[in-house]
Structure formats: C-alpha cells, structure tokens
C-alpha cells in the first residue's frame, strides 16, 4: 500500500489479534504512526484472551484513554486469573459503565465463588436503573442456585419471562438447575414439562434433582422416558442414575445399569461412575464388595472413589478398610482435611482418643486445617450465614440462643438423646452434648423458626455433610414445631416433615 492510514493499521492489528497472533500484532502496534482507541483495545483483548495478564495490565495502565470496552476486557481478564480485587478496583474507578461492565463484574464474582458480592452488585445495578442483560441474569441465576436463594431466583425468572428469554432451551436448563439446587423440584419439573424439545442437559438436571432428593423411582422413570424417546444418555446421565440408585438403596438396579452402560448405551464407564458404584455398595453395607470393585477398576482410583469407600467405612464402622482408604486419600490429597476428619470420627466413636490425638498431630505437621461447618439461610432476600459454636456476630444472636434453649427442652421431652460419637474431643458427655447443640445447621434452623412465616418451608444450606446427630434432631424439630425443613448439605437434599426425612435415614 502506498499510503497506510490509521484504519488500515488498526485493521491489521485487529486481524492478527483475532487469529491469535498476538506477538505479530504487538510488533505492528509498536510501529504504528498513530494509535487510536480501537487498536489499544484490540491489543488488550488479545492479551486477556490468551491469558497474558501481566502484559494486558501494563498496556491497560499505559492507555491514554481507557474506553468502556477496554475496561470490560481487563475486568474479565483479571477475573479469569483470580485477581478479583483488581477487577473491582477497575470497575469502581470507571467514569461510565454500560450493561456489559456490570455483567462482567457480576460474572467474575459468580465464577470465583463470591456469591454474596455478586448478589449485592446485582442489587446495586438495579438501584442505579441499569437494565440487566442476558449474561448478568444467567450469572445471578447460577448464584441463586449456589446459595439456594429461592426468592432471588424467582425474581430473576420473572425478569427472564418479561424479556422473553425463557423460551430458550439453555435458559430453561439453567432455571431447572437453580430450582433443583434450591430444593423446589415442583417448579423445576414445571419448567421441564413446558418444553417439548428438551436437550440432554434438561433431562440430566431432572434425573440429578430426583437423585439428590433420594427419589430413586422418579429418577429411573425419567431415565426410562428419555431412552424411550430415543435420546441417548451421556456420562452425566449415568452419574445421576447411579447416584439415584445409591441414595435410594437400589443396589441390584444400579448394578444392572452399570453393567449395561457400555454394551447397551455405548458409554464407557469413567472414574466417576466407579465412584457411584463404590458409594452404592458401601451405603448398602457391602463394603468388602466395594473394595473388590476398586481393585478391579481398569483405571486408577482417584480421591472421589476412595472418599466414597471411607464414607461407607464410617457409616458401617469398618476400621481396617477405613485406614486403607484414609492412607490412599492422604497420598492423593495431602492438604485436604476430609480423610483425617472421617477417620477421627471412627476413632472417636470407639473411644480411641490416643489415635484421634495422633491424627490431629499429623494434621498440624502437614498444615492441614479442617473447613469449619457453615450453614446459611435466605430470609427476605438476605442471606444469613452461621458457623458452629455459641459465639456469633449475628444481630439476633440472643433470640437465636433463646430459641435453641426452647428447642432443647422440647427435644428432650420428645425423647431426643444427643449422639456424642459426632464430637471429636475427649471431653465429658455433658460437654459433648452441649457442643452438638450449636452445630451451624441448628443455628440456621433456629433463625428460620424465628423469621420464616408459618406454613413456609425453612430452607437451609450447609457446606459439609450433615452429621447423624443433627439429622436426628432436625427430624424431631420438624415434628415438635410442625415445620418443614429442607436442608441441602454437601451431598444431597434432606426434606424433613412430621418427624421423617425424605432420605428415609438411608444416607
């Protein structure tokens, strides 16, 4: 070209960036006689897309004029690399923002586990009269599922309907996942039934939802209907189906489906499917058979497989195999506390406090710390979080303690006896019982009893598996208080009503 203007230079830079030749683009960029805004932004996007955040950051700070598009790109770049605070700093310093700016920051929070911050920002976005776009609504829906924030989820669903986004199959899948995670299977099923042309994600969501609730028959019915309609199941489908068999004690059916995965459905069993089978056998007390299956696996057993075996050993008090599983887990994941805690539970239940002390010493030596039990509940679109113990900074702390005292009296009158095997300390029985009374899920439920209107279910989430003592106590709470409690723990849902649980104590 005899003459190259700013447009032709920018086109070349953008073209090289678009085709992932960022270094060539940079050489052209450096010798451009005149840089306009578009070329700066093109280079910045190129660096963020290929993960070269340091160079993207340097370029961003050198930009004479930081456009909204450039700011949006660097926010997402920081977010993808875990630099959440830097992303928020850029967001806060922007003179003007568009809907994609808000969406980008909300997405960063959602993807990196800052769910409460994502909800706060979404609320601020609406307060500033910025109309939520499609990506921001999808991000907030995912957050609602993670936090089991049903009220917020319903609000987002209504906005999707108003904007006519709800006819999209992808949106339907995300909506179903949100309702399933919030423990509202009726609503999830309603969304599912509205669509004639369902994709595999929707079928899988429904199967998984029923599985997590312990409704094995329902999950298998959906699976059968799916196959009858000629829809081929995939790997995720079988994780849901095998989990459904495991959670509902359908051992023979689970074995039958597992055996036909490859021959009938052309799906090669993966490590996750073997983990489901180990869990299936282990829950049913067939711990030796579960160990035999691990030995026969064509692939190396991972932490999920050994974790399933260790959980079964805890449930059925198989100390010899528990020690084998725990050893394997500490080799595979040396910094995770799970195997130490489960083995400690087994030792503690047998009064082997010396072994408990040794395990705790090993944890300290390896700098392994146990994740604290944490539960949360949504009340009037605010999420309230609780950790175990009497001390809490919650503004209604005194009321919660009084409710717990009241519950303690009612439960004892109903025949409740604390199961001290779930306390990992060598202390007096009275002190053990006292400790059990302040597990995080009990605090959250006590708050729910105070704040959730009569007739409405109390929905609680917990980051760990609910302990056996709390499970027994919550069954009685549902009876003596006449309230439904829906608890989602790290593994599954428990729906407590009239002194019974949907898991039928098989968990």
What is the spatial distance between Cα 263 and Cα 248, in angstroms, rounded to a whole number? Answer: 25
Residue 340 has pLDDT above 70, yes or no: yes
What pLDDT does residue 419 have? 66
Which candidate, 63, 141, 127, 69, places its Cα nearest to that of 98?
Answer: 69
Q: What mean pLDDT comes out for the span 202-211?
A: 93
What pLDDT does residue 437 have? 66
Q: Is the separation of the CB atoms in 296 and 262 below 8 Å?
A: no
What pLDDT does residue 289 have? 95
pLDDT averaged over every residue in the chain: 86
72: left (phi over 0), alpha (psi -120 to 50) or beta: alpha
Q: Give the pLDDT confidence of 400-432 residue by residue, as tens digits.
A: 999 999 999 999 898 887 765 555 544 444 444
First-to-last C-alpha distance (Å) of the chain: 73
What pLDDT does residue 118 have? 94
What is the spatial distance between Cα 435 and Cα 422, in angstroms, rounded to a whole number? Answer: 10
CB atoms within 10 A of CB 340: 21
Q: Give the pLDDT confidence of 355-399 residue by residue, as tens digits.
A: 888 888 888 888 777 677 789 998 887 889 998 776 567 899 999
What pLDDT does residue 144 have? 92
Structure confidence at residue 442 as a pLDDT band (50, 70, 90)? very high
Ordered by start, the domain boundaries in the chain are 198-269, 296-370, 374-501
Structure confidence at residue 44 as a pLDDT band (50, 70, 90)? confident
CATH 1.10.8 fits domain 296-370: no
What pLDDT does residue 392 have? 64
Q: Give the pLDDT confidence of 214-245 residue by residue, as tens digits.
A: 899 999 999 999 999 999 999 999 999 999 99
Residue 440 has pLDDT above 60, yes or no: yes
Burial of 8 (0-12, 13-18, 19+ CB in 10 A): exposed
Q: Is the separation of the CB atoms in 336 and 302 below 8 Å?
A: no
Which candidate, 237, 279, 271, 233, places its Cα nearest to that of 255?
Answer: 279
Q: Is the separation of the CB atoms in 244 and 220 below 8 Å?
A: yes
pTM of model > 0.85:
no
């Amino acid at each position: 070209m005899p003459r190259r203007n700013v447009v032709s230079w920018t086109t070349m830079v953008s073209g090289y960036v678009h085709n992932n030749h960022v270094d060539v683009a940079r050489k052209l960029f450096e010798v451009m006689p005149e840089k306009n805004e578009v070329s700066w932004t093109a280079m910045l996007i190129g660096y963020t897309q290929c993960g070269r955040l340091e160079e993207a950051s340097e370029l961003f700070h050198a930009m004479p004029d930081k456009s909204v598009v450039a700011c949006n790109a660097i926010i997402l770049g920081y977010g993808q690399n875990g630099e959440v605070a830097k992303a928020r700093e850029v967001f806060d310093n922007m003179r003007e923002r568009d809907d994609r700016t808000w969406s980008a920051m909300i997405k960063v929070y959602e993807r990196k586990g800052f769910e409460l911050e994502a909800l706060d920002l979404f609320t601020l976005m609406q307060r500033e009269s910025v109309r939520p776009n499609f990506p921001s609504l999808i991000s907030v829906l995912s957050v609602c599922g993670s936090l089991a924030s049903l009220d917020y989820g319903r609000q987002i669903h209504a906005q999707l309907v108003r904007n006519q986004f709800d006819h999209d199959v992808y949106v339907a899948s995300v909506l179903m996942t949100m309702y399933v995670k919030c423990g509202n299977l009726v609503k999830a099923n309603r969304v599912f039934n509205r669509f004639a042309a369902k994709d595999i994600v929707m079928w899988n969501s429904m199967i998984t939802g029923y599985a997590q609730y312990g409704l094995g028959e329902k999950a298998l019915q959906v699976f059968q209907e799916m196959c009858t309609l000629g829809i081929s199941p995939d790997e995720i489908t079988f994780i849901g189906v095998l989990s459904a068999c495991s959670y509902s004690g359908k051992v023979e059916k689970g074995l039958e489906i597992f055996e036909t995965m490859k021959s009938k459905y052309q799906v090669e069993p993966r490590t996750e499917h073997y983990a489901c089978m180990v869990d299936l056998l282990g829950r049913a007390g067939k711990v030796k058979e579960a160990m035999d299956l691990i030995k026969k696996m064509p692939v190396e057993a991972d932490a999920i497989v050994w974790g399933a075996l260790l959980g079964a050993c805890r449930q059925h008090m198989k100390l010899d195999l528990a020690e084998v599983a725990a050893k394997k887990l500490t080799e595979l994941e040396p910094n995770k506390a799970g195997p130490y805690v489960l083995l400690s539970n087994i030792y503690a239940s047998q009064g082997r406090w010396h072994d408990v002390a040794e395990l705790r010493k090993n944890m300290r030596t390896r700098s392994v710390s146990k994740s604290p039990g944490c539960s949360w509940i949504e009340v009037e679109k605010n999420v309230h979080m609780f950790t175990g113990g009497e001390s809490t900074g919650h503004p209604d702390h005194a009321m919660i303690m009084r409710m717990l005292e009241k519950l303690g009296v009612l439960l004892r009158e109903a025949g409740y006896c604390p199961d001290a095997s779930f306390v990992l300390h060598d202390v007096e029985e009275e002190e053990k019982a006292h400790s059990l009374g302040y597990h995080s899920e009990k605090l959250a439920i006590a708050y729910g009893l105070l704040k959730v209107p009569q007739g409405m279910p109390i929905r609680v989430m917990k980051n760990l598996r609910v302990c056996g003592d709390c499970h027994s106590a919550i069954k009685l709470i549902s009876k003596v208080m006449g309230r439904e409690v829906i608890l989602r723990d790290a593994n599954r849902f428990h729906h407590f009503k009239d002194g019974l649980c949907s898991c039928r104590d098989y968990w």
